[in-house]
Amino acid sequence: MPMGARYLPITAYQADMVETSADPQTSDAYHLYFTLQLAFRISSGLSPRLLKTAFNKLVARHDSLRVRFVEHNQSWFAETLDEHPIGFQVNDLSGESSDVRKRSVAALAQTPIRAHEGPCFQMDLIRCGEEGDVLILRAHHAIMDGYGLIVLTEDLIKLLIRLPLQDGAMSHEDFVTRIEKLTRTNETEKQAFWMNRLLPLPQELRIGRVTRGFPPFWPKMMDKTICLNDIFLAEESRALEKISCSSGTSLYALIYVAFSEAICAIAEQSDVMICSWLGRHDAWTQRFVGCDNRMVQHIYRCSKRPLVEKAENANREIIDAISGQPSDIFLPGSPFMDVLKAEDRTLWRFQIHNTLPSARMKSSLFSKLLWSGVNEKLSIGPFFIEKLNFARDCESRFELSVFILQTPSGVNARLVADDRAFSLAELEQLQAKMRDILFN
């Protein structure tokens, strides 16, 4: 390990992301996808001085925001800097035309962060005159996840309206120490759990990239994706929630079943490996802005049982997966990944994911802001704030994904696919099959 008190170990997931970031063959889309971003239009009366003070308090409170990654003897480490390397940035465009300001805001919001270069967190203010300034926060996924972004946003707003912050923000070092200890606890049993659960591998599904002559999908190859938004009608969303409430089965499990069965039906095969992600469920991570990334894989086997019974079984398997985590079983060099490599297979084909930490957002003091979409101004204390959204060409690191959207107005989902793997017509076929499984 390099000499110096501020050089710290990183998690295996962080190391994998940073190594991929440093690979010159990694696509530009990868860097943009792994750049988390929040943009707000704010009152022009909210002074840069107040924002700079808030920024300085944020980076002092959360050392993950001051982390940079350094390589030594072919291994990566974290260095926690005493200060943020570039600080709060202000760009005054108040004298430019509205079109110039819009283009500049969009360009900055879409500027990727490369984890191996740093800094991994940046906060910029674009002065826009009377129409309101724009505040842009960007962070690489190696130092922050979606849950952490909510924690950061809450702390920022509290600082701006002078509310007290909760005690006990977790440091990068404390998190890594604890997560590595948990990973090594019962490591042999957890590896056996996953090997027994996932092997033998299901047959490779003959859909997507494999039928078009493209090599297996890997995240660093990420490129353009195609999307099918709001795949359920309003009445179908209500019906889905009614099924969930009456059966006590989660919406997640119902959509997971429909997605898995639809894939198998289109491929004319009986089982499929699906990736999902465990949300934070540990109290000790609730005020951690960093990245707590836990991948799990499931083998879904089709059956003729009723929908609710299949969803209940899926729920049990998803909950059971917690017992096998945290684990490095899905990272390069593990026994399971060696099996995949020997069979020229990849994990990165099919994914189901909750796009937002919805439970965390619902419990927030600022839940209305966090849920809000474009063109909805909200008053918070003495100023207004409006969340801005920017479309991206690449919205998934998997060949095919279903993203569950849980909002205050109901549940929906969107299908996202690598544009080399699927056509829009094929996504529509998958949508129709999912709806048929759920509602007929």
DSSP 8-state code for residue 151: H
Residue with tokens 């990245």: 291
Q: Is the pTM of this model over 0.75?
A: yes
C-alpha closest to that of 387 among 371, 410, 406, 366:
371
pLDDT score for 1: 42
- Beta partners for residue 238, in sequence order: none
Alpha-carbon span 431 to 231, nearest angstrom = 6
Q: Is 407 exposed, middle or buried (0-12, 13-18, 19+ CB in 10 A)?
A: middle
pLDDT under 70: residue ranges of the chain: 1-6, 372-376
Q: Is 5 exposed, middle or buried (0-12, 13-18, 19+ CB in 10 A)?
A: exposed
Residue 284 region by backbone torsions, left for phi larger than 0, else alpha for psi between -120 and 50, else beta: alpha
Q: Is 99 exposed, middle or buried (0-12, 13-18, 19+ CB in 10 A)?
A: exposed
Vertex 243, ends 240 and 244: CA angle to 5°? Answer: 90
Query: Can you say how many angstroms the Cα of residue 91 is from the centroid of all Cα atoms in its chain?
Result: 29
pLDDT score for 375: 55
Tens-digit pLDDT profile for residues 61-102 = 999 999 999 998 888 999 999 999 999 999 999 999 999 999
Alpha-carbon span 389 to 405, nearest angstrom = 16
pLDDT score for 355: 80
49 and 160 Cβ atoms separated by less than 8 Å? no
pLDDT score for 389: 87
Neighbour count for residue 344 (Cβ, 10 Å): 9
pLDDT score for 232: 96
Alpha-carbon span 15 to 142, nearest angstrom = 8
pLDDT score for 373: 62
Domains of the chain as residue ranges with CATH = 7-174+363-373+382-386 (3.30.559.10), 186-356+391-439 (3.30.559.30)
Sequence-ordered list of residues with C-beta below 8 angstroms from that of 73, at least 6 positions apart, any chain: none
271 and 130 Cβ atoms separated by less than 8 Å? no
